[in-house]
Amino acid sequence: MNKAVIPCGGLGTRFLPITKAVPKELLPVVDVPVISHIVDECVDSGLNEILIIISPHKEMIKEYFKRDDKLYDDLMRAGKTELAEQLRTALSKADIRFVTQYEPLGSAHAVSLAKDFTGDSAFCLALGDDLTVSDVPVAKQLVDAYEKVGTSVIGVQTCAGEDIVKYGVADVESTDGRYNLLKGIVEKPSLDALPSRLACYGRYILSDIYEYIDKICIGRGGEYQLTDALMLQCKHQKVYAYEFEGKRYDMGDKFGSLKADIELSLNRKDFGEPLKDYLKELVKSF
């Protein structure tokens, strides 16, 4: 498997007002946009053919990934050779294509636009507003899981808090280590009706998904939901939830994005240590 699809066609209403002008996928973790981290995760997982689904208002994402010879020449002239080469190398790691979703008709609709790109092969779906950090990239963990089970795999993690109600939650038939065979998925369950504590977190390996997307109707929020297609797939085929290792941040959510900013910054070689000292001092003043 070498293909990944990154849907970025949503409205980003939770991150207004900035998303009125800037796609949330381009919001930076300090100096690197979220989408660039996700592309790196895919490339580091052996998925170097990437399709990014954008909306007509998100052409800026295309711009970001465009090779910029003028910038390269300007940096070279300014003696910033290393930076110029870094930017060029970063872009050459993946073959990135784009398709436009003209209306935000839902995650399943966005995925359906990837059909020509993926053909009948299984592919990784990495939501454009979910950032993961782990020793083995999360997409790679799921590719390996797929290679073991040969059917759709959904990345899940235990969510102990009340915000589990914001996610699709795994309804598990049986468990073998990190592998959970699914009965179904319950989208945004109420706290008193949780089928498990395993929340679906924005990383999937999808196999045979289009036949199920073709069969679903408009669902929650007036959109075609990927969860509905996966629920249908669970009824006809085996689908697994795989408990991946690592940390995941909801970058479509303001607090989630702030947490990623702080935590990833604390690990930076260039200013992680001074930031730690600064935060310690700051906390004392509260």
| Contacting positions for ligand UTP (CB under 6 A) | 7-15, 53, 101, 104-107, 109-110, 127-129, 252
Min separation Cβ 8 and ligand UTP, Å: 5
The residue among 75 and 131 lying less far from ligand UTP, judged by its C-beta, is 131
Min separation Cβ 98 and ligand UTP, Å: 12
Residue nearest ligand UTP by beta-carbon distance:
10
The helices-and-strands tally (H runs, E runs) of the chain is: 11, 13
73 vs 190: CA distance, rounded Å = 56
The residue among 36 and 101 lying less far from ligand UTP, judged by its C-beta, is 101
The residue among 38 and 84 lying less far from ligand UTP, judged by its C-beta, is 38
Min separation Cβ 124 and ligand UTP, Å: 14
The residue among 8 and 206 lying less far from ligand UTP, judged by its C-beta, is 8
- Residue (of 54, 68, 5) closest to 25 by Cα position: 54
Residue type, 156: V
- CB 210 within 8 Å of CB 202: no
Min separation Cβ 56 and ligand UTP, Å: 12
The residue among 45 and 101 lying less far from ligand UTP, judged by its C-beta, is 101
Min separation Cβ 152 and ligand UTP, Å: 17
- CB 15 within 8 Å of CB 60: no
109 vs 106: CA distance, rounded Å = 5
12 vs 92: CA distance, rounded Å = 29
State the pairing for strand pair 153-158/240-243. Answer: parallel
Min separation Cβ 119 and ligand UTP, Å: 20
178 vs 145: CA distance, rounded Å = 9
> Across the chain, which distance is largest between two alpha carbons, in Å?
63
The residue among 7 and 184 lying less far from ligand UTP, judged by its C-beta, is 7
